[in-house]
Structure 1
Amino acid sequence: MIVIRLLRLFVLCIPFYFTFTGTSYASNDSKELENSLSEIGYTSVHQALQDSNKHFNRTISLPIQLPPVPFTHNYGRFNNPEGKLNDGFEAEYFNKALSENHYMIRVRPVENRIKFKKGFIDQTFKLNDENTAIYSTKASSVINLLIFEKDGWQYMLSVDKRISNKVTSEILVEIANSIK
């Protein structure tokens, strides 16, 4: 029940993080978790990507590299609320036994990009394709973000701050550079 409440809180109130209580859940709760995620629009990453590509009539390329921490689940979602401003793709990777192992990819068209104030930017990086990425530990109290643009999309990669020693800004840049 706590998982369902946290998921709903995340979807409704907290746009940039997704966390669990740290409790290890029994396998019979996995079906309940899947049902809860399905109720709020999550499907497989592949299906969400197909839905997004069809909606935007162009292809979103995903990184082929993942953070070097174990994940037990991954889900995707195509967001299509009223209007076009918040349309986008999301992929979430998490470990139900290790709540800190949480990674998320958000992709939106650059014309609807989210802008970050200079005060929230810790570092900038030059990606292999010569685009600039910004890294922020200040935009959120629970996640670190790498934000960049590629092929008409704004990408936001986020990881839980509790694994920032394992998933550094440099690793997020490597992940960004793995998009082909």
Structure 2
Amino acid sequence: MSNIKAIKVVILCIFLTCTFPYAARANYTSEEFIKSFFDIGFKEVNVALQESKKHFKKDIALPVQIPPIEFTHSFGRFSDLDGDVNDGFEIEYRHINKPKNHYMIWVKPVKYGLQIRKEHINQTYELHNGSKAIYSTEMARGFNLFIFEKNGWQYVLSISKTISNQVTPEILLEIANSVSL
């Protein structure tokens, strides 16, 4: 039951960030854009990362590579919800004037990670360290997901379907391989 709840939380996060009102609004200032994310709990990536490391008492390695598309802003958020099942760290990369340029990273302890059903897997990949990754176009409406595990963490790389021709599964595999501790 807790895995279903975790999946619902991830899908809700994707839905909220997809439908967030500022994402579709044109001609607003960078300050308004930033405030809109800070109002829903986001902050500077490094601040949220430090909060997450402190909470989990473990380092979190992030990819050193990002998708080859333009972003103007990045935001981080540490979620400390009911119990430990839904706790996690997330980063959003956005472009103030190009809502389709939307990329997210979620990091959770493996034991609380998403359980993936076979029917949601489009492709399976192997990372440089020999671990498996899956690519899904079925799990989240409007987003393609690349899910893998490293160093006791489950990572979910999420890219808007509208730019999936520019950010292919192979690019997401390269990003996954750039995570190291």
Q: TM-score scaled to structure 2, two decimals?
A: 0.87
Count of residues paired in the alignment? 167
1:15: how far off?
A: 2.2
1:140: how far off?
A: 1.8
CA offsets, 1:135-180, max 9 Å, x none? Answer: 0001122000000000000000000000011000000000000011
CA offsets, 1:1-54, max 9 Å, x none? Answer: xxxxxxxxxx99832252322x43332xx2233223222211111111111001
The answer for the alignment partner of 1:25 in structure 2 is: 27
Q: How does 1:129-140 map to 2 (within 5 A)?
A: 129-140=129-140
8 Å contact 1:25–1:96 — kept in the other structure?
no
Q: How does 1:126-165 map to 2 (within 5 A)?
A: 126-165=126-165
The answer for the alignment partner of 1:14 in structure 2 is: 12
Take 1:68 and 1:12, find their aligned partners in 2: how far apart are those partners? 24
The answer for the alignment partner of 1:54 in structure 2 is: 54
8 Å contact 1:41–1:77 — kept in the other structure?
yes
Letter in 1 for 2:28: A
**Which 5+ residue runs of structure 2 have no aligned equivalent?**
1-8
Name the SS of the counterpart of 2:78 in structure 1. strand
Q: TM-score scaled to structure 1, two decimals?
A: 0.88
**Which 5+ residue runs of structure 1 have no aligned equivalent?**
1-10
8 Å contact 2:133–2:148 — kept in the other structure?
yes
The answer for the alignment partner of 1:75 in structure 2 is: 75
8 Å contact 2:144–2:161 — kept in the other structure?
yes
Decide whether aligned partners of structure 1 residues 139 and 13 sit closer, same or farther in structure 2, where only a CA change above 3 A counts. closer
8 Å contact 1:100–1:163 — kept in the other structure?
yes
Aligned identity (percent) is 47
The answer for the alignment partner of 2:5 in structure 1 is: none
